[in-house]
Amino acid sequence: MKISQICAVTILLVMGSVMAFADGINDPKIIIQGANGGSSAQTCGRHGCQQVGVDFTFNVPKSGSGQVFFTNTSGKNWTSLTLIETGVPAAAISCVQTLFLNCSTKTLKNGSVEILLSGVRHGLNPRFGILKGQSFSIGFACVSGSCWPGGIPISGHAGTVPEPGTVALMVTGLGAIVSRRKVWLNRLKA
């Protein structure tokens, strides 16, 4: 009798783990990465890069997936990037990014979602943020049929901090897009 109870509990735990992992896989993703330099149309996609300052707006591609390309023409290095959207709940967004140390999401009082990317570090495994003149892309991916609502507006705001030239410079509290399961995201980054 005890062995059957142990087997039942084990099966229940395995099923719960599989369902939790599968739930994270169904979430739409946002992918933020550098576009290999700056001015070439080839690195910025076939439509080129939109030149942006510290505040900018854009729309999710109509299909709900795809990439949008930008160039930081603000004249400043960005140590954080905040994106505000209203189409997907914060808990459903997962993020992959290569430019900052952190990524997080939260629901604001007005119901919109804040996606925060932050943290820069120089040295081993550096993250530099988005440098002045650097091109970058924001990609929207469908996962298992779950896509972003096409055409929704997103506003962006870049944070800038004067460069003191120290390795210890770090902006906290911001991040690029978070999954409900941070462990899962860390596996994606590896």
pLDDT beyond 80 at 105: yes
pTM as predicted:
0.68
**CA 130/CA 139 separation, integer angstroms:** 16
Angle 90-141-55 (CA atoms, 0-180°, nearest 5)?
60
Residue 100 and residue 81 in contact, taking contact as beta carbons nearer than 8 Å: yes
Question: CB within 8 A of 74, min separation 6: which ones?
Answer: 52, 53, 54, 132, 158, 160
Determine the pLDDT at residue 122.
76
pLDDT in tens, 135-189: 999 999 888 778 899 999 999 999 997 544 433 333 333 233 333 334 334 444 5
Nearest by Cα to 181 from 89, 87, 100, 92: 92
**CA 37/CA 178 separation, integer angstroms:** 26
Determine the pLDDT at residue 143.
80
